[in-house]
Amino acid sequence: MLLIALSIFACGGTTTTYSGHTTNSYMALDGDRSWTYSNDGMPYTLEIEKIPETEMVNETEVVTLEYSVEDPAQLLGSIAWSSDSRDGIMIHGHDNIRFEEPIKFAEYRMSPGAIATTETDGVVFSSTFVGVETCENHWITDGEPWECLRFTVEADDGNYPFVGDYWLANAWGPSRFINTNGAWGSENTWILNHARWTDESE
């Protein structure tokens, strides 16, 4: 099996075409993955880990990411994601809840300023592609900072743990994010400390 835990040059640029930025590779969910984050406003390190079991919903592979205190280990919650070249990035639910219709986090291709809107379970969710921004983190500190796609996710009602701002790095996912609701909610930014990927096909 191939284990990658080093700086990856794929993060050095964005994937752009005349019809917008492709998004799905910025929420990479393939293989065996985990991430750790620190936050100046929180007393613990946050670990996000992909669980091995995935779920097929029609033709879409849904991946569950568990959010936990790293030490001492304590599960805080989970979010079900998918990311592919057909539907872009979607959120299917959180904890033990599944939405009647998945929330569109990002279309497969989007241009800055574009908004993806989903109405499901009586709530309207919107995800705005703010644009391309640099996204420094604690993991990769040498050389040029990564360039990320920034998204802002909002809901017109309720408190959902995935609402907030995301800076997604190509091939690695969130370099930084802010979630103000839920068990790991904070007004401050969660900043990437380390990411791990194992290619399960090797």
Q: pTM to 2 decimals? A: 0.90
The per-residue DSSP string of the chain comes to -EEE-S--GGGGS--EETTEEE-GGGG---SEEEEEEE-TT-SS-EEEEEEEEEEEETTEEEEEEEEEETTTTEEEEEEEEEEETTTEEEEEEETTEEEEEEEEEE-SEE-TT-EEEEEETTEEEEEEEEEEEE---SS--SSSPPEEEEEEEEESSS--TT-EEEEEETTTEEEEEEE-SSTT--SSPEEEEEEEEEETT-
* C-beta of residue 76 within 8 angstroms of C-beta of residue 184: yes
Give the pLDDT confidence of 146-178 residue by residue, as tens digits: 999 999 999 999 999 999 999 999 999 999 999
How far apart, in whole angstroms, are the C-alpha atoms of residue 124 and residue 111?
Answer: 21
Give the other-Cβ count within 10 Å of 195's Cβ: 25
pLDDT surpassing 80 at residue 183: yes
Give the pLDDT confidence of 5-64 residue by residue, as tens digits: 333 434 444 444 447 999 999 999 999 999 999 999 999 999 999 999 999 999 999 999
Give the other-Cβ count within 10 Å of 116's Cβ: 21
- Res 163: pLDDT: 98
Displacement of CA 190 from its chain's centroid (Å): 12
How far apart, in whole angstroms, are the C-alpha atoms of residue 160 and residue 180?
Answer: 9
Kind of pairing between the strands at 46-57 and 60-69: antiparallel
Give the pLDDT confidence of 104-155 residue by residue, as tens digits: 999 999 999 999 999 999 999 999 999 999 999 999 999 899 999 999 999 9
Domains belonging to the chain, first-starting first, are 20-197 (2.40.360)
Q: Give the side-chain half-sphere CA count within 13 A for 60.
A: 20
